Amino acid sequence: MTTLNQSIAQALIKYRHLSQISQENLADLADIHRTYVSQIERGLKMPTLAILFKIAHALQIKPSDLIKEIENKYDEI
Amino acid sequence: MTTLNQSIAQALIKYRHLSQISQENLADLADIHRTYVSQIERGLKMPTLAILFKIAHALQIKPSDLIKEIENKYDEI
């Protein structure tokens, strides 16, 4: 697991919790596989920008806000 | 080519031109293959977040600023 994967995982978990939705709900809303959400949240998969945009849309946040959170976490590590 | 690919391509070309560097220079600075830069700029490849972070670092901009530009272009289309 790279530190960037960790930062992405942490940012996604934070925003998903703020939206109070499950991994399964997020997967449905973003039209991606539930296993894929789980893999990103465990730092096992590196998402593409297309996936980032789908997830952000599902969480009703801007993709750039999700990236800002990732940047902040990445800088801390 | 999807509209998101187009938006990514346009944003990358814009920032690369602002930095006044060639595709080859960018590839060297970001430690990615020159062909890959060309493919992203032609909308043929969807980059991962790891590639986005490398490119932004090479261009000395924040990844979130590059994403903001992509968002703006994506909204226009």
DSSP annotation string for A6-37: HHHHHHHHHHHHHTT--HHHHHHHHTS-HHHH
Percent of chain A exceeding pLDDT 90 equals: 88
Contacts of B8 in chain A (CB under 8 A): 49
- ipTM computed for the complex: 0.90
Contact yes or no for A2 and B64 at CB 8 A? no
As a whole number of angstroms, the distance between CA A69 and CA A65 comes to: 6
Using a CB–CB cut-off of 8 Å, the residues of B that contact A are: 2, 4, 8, 46-50, 52-53, 62-65, 67-68, 70-71, 74
DSSP state of B23: H
Which residue does chain A place closest to B65, by CA atoms?
A64
Inter-chain touch A2–B48, beta carbons under 8 Å = no
Q: Among candidates B32, B5, B21, B24, which has minimal Cα distance to B61? A: B21
Stretch B39-52: mean pLDDT: 96
Q: What is the mean pLDDT of chain B?
A: 94
pLDDT tens track for B47-64: 999 999 999 999 999 999
pTM of the model: 0.92
A24-49 pLDDT per residue, tens: 999 999 999 999 999 999 999 999 99
Secondary structure letter of residue A1 according to DSSP: -
Structural element, H or E, at residue A39: helix A34-41
**Distance (Å, whole) CA B21 – CA B50:** 21
Please give the pLDDT value at position A77. 52
Confidence of residue A15 (pLDDT cuts 50, 70, 90): very high
For residue A35, give how far its alpha carbon lies from the nearest alpha carbon of chain B (Å): 18
Quickly list H helices, B1-77. 3-18, 23-30, 34-41, 49-58, 63-76
Nearest-by-CA chain B residue for A68: B64
Q: Which residue of B has its CA nearest to A67?
A: B64
Q: Is the pLDDT of residue A1 over 80?
A: no
Going by pLDDT thresholds of 50, 70 and 90, the confidence category of residue B74 is confident
B75 pLDDT more than 80: no
